Structure 1
Amino acid sequence: MTTVPRSLDEIIASADALADRFEAYEPADADRDSVDPTTALWLAASRRAAAERDLAAAVVEARRAGVPWKVVGELVGTSGEAARQRYGRHAAR
């Protein structure tokens, strides 16, 4: 069982030891390719959310530059009206 460091010197020594372990760690080939399914799902959802934020920001910039909703819709794979409904609140800011 690991004991919790109590003094500042113990905390610093523990942090240094952990830093050394992290720097020396080399994952096995199997570790690199295996991801827990829930972690994979969380990562995919996180990437999707980031992509949606990027897309909304790009729509805002396109609208500020005068790109019509019809063109925005075509570029995001939908109709201009559907794009306006989905991203219009972002573009109105």
Structure 2
Amino acid sequence: MTTMPRSLDDLLNQADDLAARFEAYEPTAGDLGTVDPVTALRLAALRRAEAERELAYVVERARKQSLAWQQIGAAIGTTGEAARQKYTRVSEGRLGRHIQERKGRRVTESSAEPRVRQPAPPSA
């Protein structure tokens, strides 16, 4: 068991010892089960997000090289229509509506003109 350092020298020595142990550590196959479940979930979510970013980049490059949505969908295990819906860049109009809604305005589907939301009347 490690004792708490009592002086600056003890603290620095303990830090050096921990750094050396960290640098010398070689993970084994059995170590995977020792990861905290929340940490494992966060790591998996991070890897998924990185994979999605890479996939979006590659799909964009494929489209620039005139690859059909059907081919892209088949390559990533879905239909061409599903790939198109997921990876098509947001058009200017849709992006504009999204930004306006985020700023507290509401845009109707039939009109590009924003309607300002009226604040609720103050309660008495």
TM-score tier (shorter): 0.5 to 0.7
- How many equivalent pairs are there? 86
Structure number with bigger Rg: 2
Amino acid at match of 2:20: D
Q: Over residues 27-85 of structure 1, what are the superposed CA-to-partner deviations in whole Å (9 max), with x where a residue is unaligned?
A: 6885x233111111111111111111111111011111110111111112222121111
Q: Distance in 2 between matches of 1:25 and 1:39?
A: 19
Counterpart residue number, 1:45: 45
Counterpart residue number, 1:58: 58
Q: Distance in 1 between matches of 2:40 and 2:81?
A: 34
Task: List gaps (5 residues or longer) in structure 2.
Answer: 91-124
Deviation at 1:25, TM superposition (A): 4.7
Counterpart residue number, 1:33: 32
Structure with the higher helix share, 1 or 2: 1
Secondary structure in structure 2 of the residue aligned to 1:89: coil
Counterpart residue number, 1:19: 19
Q: Structure 1 residues 27 and 50, CA, compared in 2 at 3 Å: closer, same or farther?
A: closer
**Identity of paired residues, percent?**
52
Deviation at 1:26, TM superposition (A): 6.0
TM-score of the pair, normalised by structure 2: 0.52
Match status 1:69 vs 2:69: yes
Q: Over residues 3-32 of structure 1, what are the superposed CA-to-partner deviations in whole Å (9 max), with x where a residue is unaligned?
A: 585xxxxx97776454334334566885x2
User: What CA RMSD, in Å, does the superposition of the two structures yield over aligned residues?
Assistant: 3.0
Structure with the higher strand share, 1 or 2: 2
Task: List gaps (5 residues or longer) in structure 1.
Answer: 6-10
Secondary structure in structure 1 of the residue aligned to 2:66: coil
Q: Structure 1 residues 15 and 59, CA, compared in 2 at 3 Å: closer, same or farther?
A: same
TM-score of the pair, normalised by structure 1: 0.66
